Amino acid sequence: MAPKIIVIDDEPIVCQMSKRVLEQEGYQVETYVDSREALERIKTTPFDVVITDLKMENISGMDILKEVNQRYPGTRVIMLTAYATLDTAIEALRERIYDFFPKPVKIEELKKAVKRALETR
């Protein structure tokens, strides 16, 4: 079974590009621009890796992170953000985040991070 990845970002371009790139690597990818819908999906379906934007309307990346950690301790979360501050980084690390990328993200880096995340599960 191909590993399952969910990408959550309110910018459609981030979802589209991540989907293309990661599908090319052989993963099964779902994307959500609405974080509320994504959260509902996560509640019913486990994923191997969650890639989420930090700052989104309604449900933030931190909310997603907490939900995932509570339900699926084995799932890795990779956070993307245009607003990388030390505070958010520290808070995210405290919540057991796997990796943290400021946007724009280099595609190679994201691919590597996902690969590492899957290997270390």
Stretch that binds other proteins, among 31-39, 70-78, 87-95, 101-109 (CB under 8 A): 101-109
Give the CA distances from residue 43 to residues 10, 14, 24, 52, 69, in Å, rounded to whole numbers and listed in that order. 19, 23, 27, 15, 11
CB of 24 to other proteins, least distance (A): 8
Residues sharing a CB contact under 8 Å with residue 58, sequence separation 6 or more, in sequence order: 34, 35, 36
Window contacting other proteins (CB under 8 A); options: 26-34, 35-43, 84-92, 107-115: 107-115
Task: Say whether residue 110 binds other proteins (CB under 8 A).
Answer: yes
Contacts of 87 (CB under 8 A, 6+ apart): none
Using CB under 8 A as the criterion, which residues of the chain lie in contact with other proteins when the complex forms?
Answer: 9, 11, 13-14, 16-18, 20-21, 24, 80, 82, 103-108, 110
